[in-house]
């Protein structure tokens, strides 16, 4: 069930990072429970990841147990206006399932490359839409026990949820979304429009982890970085995208250290020039 010293760089869109001491990819709720109980019984740290599209893993890797919720744990159904899905489902696939059933609300997710679990964890969003307002309830495993939380207990805010502040690591296993009936033609038109915007503005031709920084109050990250003269700045194989300065892309051989140094440089310059603190939107995990 568990793989030892598994190379996590294989699982992230950036393709960098060290190994996991123990790695498991569950295919059922029972396997999720077993994985968490194993970590608890052994006293190992537990880290949960999805498809690795919003993730920077440090070069030393991650100690303890890494649980990846991905394709083997992907199942979804529609019941009236509710879309119920396990957290290994890709957001883009769920948006297309909603389209098929004439349900609106997930159009923004058509171009987001990650999974439902990561989206719920960070309240993922794009182009004015977020997952949080759509969530009716979640199933999770915490302390080796299956639990259910209604939306009222999830504390969704901009790129934030209750899951991020729990002292005992939760593994989100299923999410119920409440959608709205709409004509398929209107849903498809909106999805196509958003996809066009994404392709025209984002550096999809290079590996990245999506938007590097959260949007600070009263500012937009890309224009701020560009105004500071940092567009195209490169450290090793990590580069501030020349297409959209809010993204850091991988342009060749790179290490996690390259990305971390570039992130720190951007934060320092933006603070010195504008007095604005940039907080990473990407998850940074592991050890140097």
Q: What is the pLDDT of residue 60?
A: 98
% of the chain beyond a pLDDT of 90: 92
Residue range 200-259, pLDDT digits in tens: 989 889 999 999 999 999 999 999 999 999 999 999 999 999 999 999 999 989 999 999
Starting at the edge strand found earlier in the chain, the sheet holding 46-49 runs 3-7, 19-24, 62-68, 46-49
Helix (H, G, I), strand (E, B), or coil: what is residue 245? coil
Give the residue with greater pLDDT, 279 vs 201.
Answer: 279
**The two three-digit tokens of residue 175, written as one number:** 């999410």
CA distance 256 to 99: 38
Q: What is the pLDDT of residue 173?
A: 98
> 3-71 — its CATH code?
3.30.43.10
Q: What's the residue count for the chain?
A: 288
Mean pLDDT, all residues of the chain: 96
Q: Which one, of 178, 186, 269, 256, lies nearest residue 226 by Cα?
A: 269
Q: Give, for 167, the enclosing helix (H) or strand (E).
A: none
Q: What is the pLDDT of residue 183?
A: 97
Angle between helices 184-201 and 91-100 (to 10 degrees): 150
Q: Label the pairing between strands 62-68 and 19-24.
A: parallel
Average pLDDT over residues 186-212: 93
Q: What is the pLDDT of residue 225?
A: 97
The CATH number of 203-285, from 3.40.50.2300, 3.90.78.10, 3.30.420.10, 3.40.50.620, is 3.90.78.10
- Are residues 106 and 98 in contact, defined by beta-carbon separation less than 8 angstroms? yes
Residue 62 confidence class, pLDDT cut points 50, 70, 90 = very high
For tokens 């939380």, the residue is: 149
Q: Where are the domains of the chain?
A: 3-71, 74-188, 203-285
The fold adopted by the segment(s) 74-188 is: 3.30.465
Residue range 75-123, pLDDT digits in tens: 999 999 999 999 999 999 999 999 999 999 999 999 898 999 999 999 9
Q: What is the pLDDT of residue 233?
A: 97
CA distance 286 to 133: 31
- Are residues 131 and 125 in contact, defined by beta-carbon separation less than 8 angstroms? yes
Q: Which residues are catalytic?
A: 159, 211, 281
Average pLDDT over residues 251-276: 97
**The two three-digit tokens of residue 45, written as one number:** 């740290």
Residue 270 confidence class, pLDDT cut points 50, 70, 90 = very high
120-to-103, 108, 191, 267 alpha-carbon distances in Å: 19, 14, 21, 27
């Amino acid at each position: 069930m568990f793989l030892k010293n598994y190379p996590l760089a294989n699982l992230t869109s950036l393709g960098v990072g060290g190994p996991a001491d123990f790695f498991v990819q569950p295919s059922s709720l029972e396997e999720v429970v077993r994985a968490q109980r194993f970590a608890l019984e052994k006293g190992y740290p537990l880290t949960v990841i999805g498809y690795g599209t919003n993730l920077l893993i440090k070069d030393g890797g991650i100690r303890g147990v890494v649980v990846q919720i991905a394709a083997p744990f992907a199942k979804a159904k529609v019941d009236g206006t509710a879309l119920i899905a396990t957290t290994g489902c890709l957001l883009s696939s769920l948006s297309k399932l909603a389209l098929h059933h004439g349900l609106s609300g997930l159009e923004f997710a058509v171009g987001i490359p990650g999974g439902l679990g990561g989206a719920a964890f960070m309240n993922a969003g794009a182009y004015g839409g977020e997952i949080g307002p759509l969530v009716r309830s979640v199933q999770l495993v915490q302390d080796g026990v299956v639990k259910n939380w209604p939306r009222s207990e999830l504390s969704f805010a901009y790129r934030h949820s209750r899951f991020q502040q729990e002292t005992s690591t939760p593994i989100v296993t299923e999410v119920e979304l409440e959608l709205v009936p709409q004509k398929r033609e209107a849903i498809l038109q909106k999805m196509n429009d958003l996809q066009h915007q994404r392709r025209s503005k984002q550096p999809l031709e290079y590996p990245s982890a999506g938007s590097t920084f959260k949007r600070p109050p009263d500012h937009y990250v890309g224009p701020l970085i560009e105004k500071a003269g940092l567009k195209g700045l490169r450290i090793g194989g990590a580069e501030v995208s020349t297409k959209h300065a809010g993204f850091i892309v991988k342009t060749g051989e790179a290490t996690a250290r390259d990305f971390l140094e570039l992130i720190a440089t951007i934060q320092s310059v933006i603070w010195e020039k504008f007095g604005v603190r940039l907080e990473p939107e990407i998850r940074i995990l592991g050890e140097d």
